[in-house]
Structure 1
Amino acid sequence: MKWLMAGLVVLFLLSGGFLLLPSPVSALAWQPPSPEPMTGLLAPNERLQQAELLALGQIYGPEDTAVNTEGVVYAGTQNGYIVRVFPDGHVENWLSTGGRPLGMVFDHNGNLIVADAWKGLLSVTRDGDVTVLSREAEGIPFRFTDDADIAADGRIYFTDASSRFHQPDYQLDLLEMRPHGRLLRYSPKTGETEVLLGDMHFANGVAVAPGGDYVLVNETWKYRIHRYWISGPRAGQTEIFADNLPGFPDNLAVDESGRFWVAFPTLRNASIDTLHPVPWLKELVAKLPQSLQPAPQEYGLAVAFDHTGRVIASLHDPGGMHLQEITSVNPHGGYLYFGSLHNDRIGRLPMRVIPGLGEQ
């Protein structure tokens, strides 16, 4: 009995101490929209299970990929290395950025442009020389450089997901639910970086539309995609491209037919949606070890949209056994390449096996 009483006293003291601990977030309330049913073109299927697996077990965390003209697949991994996967299957640790390489794309001169979560916007030559292009905008340093794409004029559109939290603490940014994200543009001619769109709840994937009239940018925590006009009479204006998405949109890319491909690391989380309207509860949850916080569902999902924001195809792996936590979908040479923040593989799927795409 004494041991039981002592245990209860210790538990009480520990819980009191936990409540007195400062929270790492200052949370805002938000009421998420009710999720739409995943039916029709969003209905679950097993198409991702047809994907070929590249570099299986030889890499970890290939968050994004870029494919050069020789068919070599580049990917940024968890340990800070950019790896190269050659057509014969050979995997090479090419170079380390000293940070966490995320989004990447080749520019018109063959340089690899990298959004590095820790280092900023980088340019890597074919010989492996690394140059920092941008680290801050309007006096605010980047804390979570996330994704990048390049327009025909050479200007680079990229995102800083959060000006408050670094990459390992992305869940704190979600719980805080304050608009720390920005869409930015870097000019190679002037070396200047400008903020195009601020006050975003985790600015993530970015893709320049064919023709260069607008750029799409994912606002991950609010389950939506923005369209920012960069030319024409609507230049500088913003509108919602797609809203109330089935999961957390991550990177996005556009294929040769003008379809936009969006990666979803996981589906929407009922626990998170329930927490969002209650700031004080989110502040308590933020104090818990990450292992005790709401965990993402193991699921694989990528969705294709047309230029109007209409869903035209979806690819699923409901159990996440083959491909899960997909953070990027990159079309190249008739294939889709799938990256992931935590997988030990890169997926590759021929687009010809996806029903309906030929009709779009």
Structure 2
Amino acid sequence: MDRRTALVPLRYVALPGHGPEDVVADCAGGILTGVADGRILRVGGLDDPTAARVECLAEIAGRPLGLELLPDGDLLVCSADGALLRVDLGGGRVQVLTETAAGERLRFCSNVVALPDGTVYFTVSSRVHPLRDWMGDIVEHSGTGRLLRLAPGAREAEVVLEGLQFANGLVRGGDDSCLIVAETGACRLTRFRLTGPRAGQAEPLAENLPGFPDNMWRGAPDGPVWVALAGPRVPPLGLLHRAAPAVRRRAARLALHVPYRPSGTTGVLAIDDDGRVLHRLTRRGSGFRMVTSVCETGGRLVLGSLWERGIAICEAPVI
């Protein structure tokens, strides 16, 4: 975990929109992302920043967060306003898959994966705070994050795991026997078993990460899991998390009135299915802040950010 190498920037591609929170690669080497005004964009021509092409494929009513590209070319989209959507990228049609779980309206849907049988799992970061107040949940340490399951054809999701600390990024295990969930507020990755004698159970996969894990990406079943670190750990926050709930709630209310500026330290991790860190890439004093997503395409890493107005292209290490 302490062995680190430099994250080498190659180029920056500006976007006509703010906050490309999640980035996913398509089969043609382009990048799909969603920006704050609800547009779903595709970025092509990454090899040459002067020739990069940005096109709008669709627009949703809410704020897009986590994305999952389906084999048929449609895109699953988590709306921060509380819905799981399916978007036809060819025609722009938006379908609401679900807005409820266990009889409760969703809030702050964060990331999503689809299994080969059509089952969809997705995370809800908080049942207390909306996206605009995300800092409040991190400070309060509410533990109201959830992992939800939407069966094929179902209109309402079921809760399969709760009590998570700001549930965020989500990827499939290499053999589809488990899911890996990023708990941003706890600086850890959690494994949720889908098959075998421990199906339905969860355990820590990687703890005490050097930063706050956000969205994750896996390009191939036998490839590494790339983890975006939205910022480095803050030791005083760890102390606050051990305080009484009333103290944390008061601190959260105060935190919402303090202007936020992300750290200048950028970081991503590559891990395997046992939680071992294969690469830790960092860059201090980076001009690209608050890395909330990372994916790999064409031998490059592509970074997304809730804060920036573009994506960053970086050198990928040899795994």
TM-score by length of structure 2 reads 0.90
Deviation at 1:289, TM superposition (A): 6.4
What's 2:265 paired with?
A: 299
Does the 8 Å CA contact 1:209/1:258 hold for their aligned counterparts? no
Does 1:95 find its partner at 2:58? yes
Q: Percent identity?
A: 33
Question: C-alpha deviations, 1:262-293, integer Å up to 9, x for none?
Answer: 11110111332233333454444333364526
**Aligned positions, number:** 311
Does 1:222 find its partner at 2:186? yes
Deviation at 1:233, TM superposition (A): 2.6
Does 1:171 find its partner at 2:135? yes
Deviation at 1:333, TM superposition (A): 4.2
Looking at structure 1, the residues matched to 259 and 163 of structure 2 have their Cα atoms a distance apart, in angstroms, of 25
Looking at structure 1, the residues matched to 295 and 60 of structure 2 have their Cα atoms a distance apart, in angstroms, of 22
Looking at structure 2, the residues matched to 219 and 85 of structure 1 have their Cα atoms a distance apart, in angstroms, of 29
Does the 8 Å CA contact 1:140/1:163 hold for their aligned counterparts? no
What's 2:73 paired with?
A: 110
Partner SS for 1:51: strand
Name the amino acid aligned to 2:12: L
Looking at structure 1, the residues matched to 186 and 80 of structure 2 have their Cα atoms a distance apart, in angstroms, of 21
Question: C-alpha deviations, 1:125-174, integer Å up to 9, x for none?
Answer: 12110001011110122110000112222221110111121100111112
Alignment of 1:275-294 (within 5 A): 275-279=240-244, 280-288=246-254, 290=256, 292=258
Greater fraction of residues in helix? 1
Partner SS for 1:173: helix
Partner SS for 2:231: coil
Partner SS for 1:132: strand
Partner SS for 2:232: coil
Counterpart of 1:64 (choices 6, 22, 42) is 22
Question: C-alpha deviations, 1:8-55, integer Å up to 9, x for none?
Answer: xxxxxxxxxxxxxxxxxxxxxxxxxxxxxx622xx3x432x333322x
Counterpart of 1:265 (choices 196, 210, 230) is 230
Pick which of 254-263 and 126-135 moved more. Answer: 254-263
Deviation at 1:59, TM superposition (A): 3.1
Looking at structure 2, the residues matched to 75 and 160 of structure 1 have their Cα atoms a distance apart, in angstroms, of 19
Partner SS for 1:292: coil
Name the amino acid aligned to 2:26: N
CA RMSD of aligned residues (A): 2.1
Counterpart of 1:53 (choices 12, 15, 20) is 12
Counterpart of 1:162 (choices 126, 138, 143) is 126
Q: 1:112 to 1:325 in 2, by over 3 A?
A: same
Does the 8 Å CA contact 1:203/1:218 hold for their aligned counterparts? yes
Q: 1:138 to 1:343 in 2, by over 3 A?
A: same
Looking at structure 2, the residues matched to 185 and 335 of structure 1 have their Cα atoms a distance apart, in angstroms, of 32
Q: 1:196 to 1:326 in 2, by over 3 A?
A: same
Looking at structure 1, the residues matched to 95 and 313 of structure 2 have their Cα atoms a distance apart, in angstroms, of 30
Q: 1:191 to 1:331 in 2, by over 3 A?
A: farther
Does 1:345 find its partner at 2:314? no
Question: C-alpha deviations, 1:298-357, integer Å up to 9, x for none?
Answer: 211100111111111012121122x32111112334432211111122123353xx15x1
Q: 1:226 to 1:287 in 2, by over 3 A?
A: closer
What's 1:319 paired with?
A: 285
Where structure 1 has 5 or more consecutive residues not aligned to the other structure, the ranges are 1-37
Does the 8 Å CA contact 2:135/2:255 hold for their aligned counterparts? no
Q: 1:260 to 1:269 in 2, by over 3 A?
A: same
Does 1:75 find its partner at 2:4? no
Where structure 2 has 5 or more consecutive residues not aligned to the other structure, the ranges are 46-50
What's 1:133 paired with?
A: 97
TM-score by length of structure 1 reads 0.80
Deviation at 1:203, TM superposition (A): 0.8
Does the 8 Å CA contact 2:15/2:311 hold for their aligned counterparts? no
Does the 8 Å CA contact 2:294/2:302 hold for their aligned counterparts? yes
Q: 1:294 to 1:343 in 2, by over 3 A?
A: closer
Name the amino acid aligned to 1:46: A
Partner SS for 1:113: strand
Looking at structure 2, the residues matched to 141 and 195 of structure 1 have their Cα atoms a distance apart, in angstroms, of 12
Greater fraction of residues in strand? 2
Deviation at 1:76, TM superposition (A): 0.8
Name the amino acid aligned to 1:237: Q
Does the 8 Å CA contact 2:21/2:293 hold for their aligned counterparts? yes
Does the 8 Å CA contact 2:263/2:289 hold for their aligned counterparts? no
Looking at structure 1, the residues matched to 55 and 82 of structure 2 have their Cα atoms a distance apart, in angstroms, of 22
